[in-house]
Chains A and B, each alone.
Chain A
Amino acid sequence: MQADKLFGVHFLAAQLREHRAGVLAANIANADTPHYKARDVDFGAVLGQAAGRDLTLRTTHAAHVPLNASPGDARLQYRNPLQASLDGNTVDVHVEHAAFAENALQYQTSLQLLDARIKGVVKALTGD
């Protein structure tokens, strides 16, 4: 049984949250780097794509390359800066910090749901 079949959408969500944590950490790390542009992941769009609900590319020829959606392919989008700075940097540390905290909380939620699923499966297997 594949892990993503066993754990459903929470498996994908946790992977995507991890990926997003890296992107946001890079934004925070580069808060003082000139010309750095802050980026983020559109969580809803990527999760929908990865869950195969939409945006799947139809291939009609053997040479066509199928679009394989996984969190690693998550398209990064540039953030619209609230306050432009003179050195061309668009990182707003407070916004990034808030997004990082929010992402951490949602990751914990995914973990909690995964945990419940694991406990359920273990209970079914052991029968106690």
Chain B
Amino acid sequence: MSLFNVFDIAGSAVSAQSLRLNTTASNLANADSVAGDPDSVYRARQPVFQAMSLPDGRVGAGVRMLGVVESAAPPTVRHDPNHPMANADGEVFASNVDPVAELVNMISASRSYQTNIEVMNTSKTLLLRTLSLGQ
């Protein structure tokens, strides 16, 4: 019954999108984090999606998370000798999070989440109608 598969497919997408929302929330929360050296500063994180393949090798079931990658963009350097975390040269390093890009990401993730919920709702209606056949 492939209408039940639809729940697995849409469910995988919903959990992938909610993880994307989680990384976005983490990025936005740490947008103003600073550190004394460029290696320990917070870097923007992005999830990587991959299409799941069916058992017979065809691509096209759900979606899965390959992992989370950190952005390679250089952190912002500020000259602020009075900052308690400033290094010997009086510099502090701020995270490389781009708040505008993160907000766009958030909107995209929430729209995708809604679309997949809609797909599940439609499938539920169809299954219920199938169950009531002949009644």
Is B133 among interface residues, defined by CB-CB distance under 8 A?
yes
Residues A30 and B133 in contact, CB atoms below 8 Å apart: no
* 12 examples of A-B residue contacts, CB within 8 angstroms: A18-B2, A21-B123, A22-B6, A26-B60, A29-B119, A30-B49, A31-B13, A32-B20, A39-B60, A93-B111, A111-B130, A114-B133
Q: A28-B10, A29-B9 given as contacts; is B60 within 8 A of A100 (CB)?
A: no
Q: A25-B9, A25-B10, A31-B115 are in contact. Are A107 and B126 (CB under 8 A)?
A: yes
Residue A79 interfacial (CB < 8 Å): no
Q: Which residues of A contact B123 (CB under 8 A)?
A: 21, 25
Chain A residues lying within 8 Å of B50, measured Cβ to Cβ, are 33
- The interface on chain A, measured as residues whose beta carbon lies within 8 A of the other chain's beta carbons, has a size of 30
In the complex, whether A51 has a CB less than 8 A from a CB of chain B is no
Q: Which of B13-68 contact A (CB under 8 A)?
A: 13, 16-17, 20, 49-51, 58-63
The answer to whether A115 touches B133 (Cβ under 8 A) is yes
Residue A95 lies at the interface, judged by CB distance under 8 Å to chain B? no
Which of A93, A97, A111 contacts B133 (CB under 8 A)? A111
B133: nearest chain-A partner, CB-CB: A115
Name the one of A22, A30, A36, A114 contacting B5, with C-beta atoms under 8 angstroms: A22
Given contacts A29-B63, A101-B122, contact A21 B6 (CB under 8 A): yes
Interface size on B, residues (CB 8 A): 37
Answer whether residue A34 sits at the interface, using C-beta atoms and an 8 A cutoff: yes
In chain A, positions 10-42 with a C-beta closer than 8 Å to chain B are 18-19, 21-23, 25-26, 28-34, 36, 39
Smallest CB gap from A16: residue in B? B2
A107 to B125, CA, bound (A): 11
A104 CB, min distance to chain B CBs, angstroms = 5
Convert B118-131 into 0s and 1s, putting 1 for each residue whose CB lies closer than 8 angstroms to a CB of A. 11001101100110
Total residue contacts A-B, CB cutoff 8 A:
92
Query: Are A29 and B133 CB-contacts (below 8 A) given A18-B2, A18-B3?
Result: no
Partner of A108, one of B20, B60, B118, B126: B126
CA distance A21 to B4 in the complex (A): 10
Contact A30 B2 (CB under 8 A): no
Q: A28-B13, A30-B63, A31-B115 are in contact. List 13 more A-B contacts (CB 8 A).
A: A19-B2, A25-B6, A26-B51, A30-B49, A30-B60, A32-B17, A32-B49, A32-B63, A39-B60, A76-B60, A100-B122, A115-B134, A122-B134
Q: Which residue of the partner chain, among A26, A100, A108, contacts B62 with CB atoms under 8 Å?
A: A26
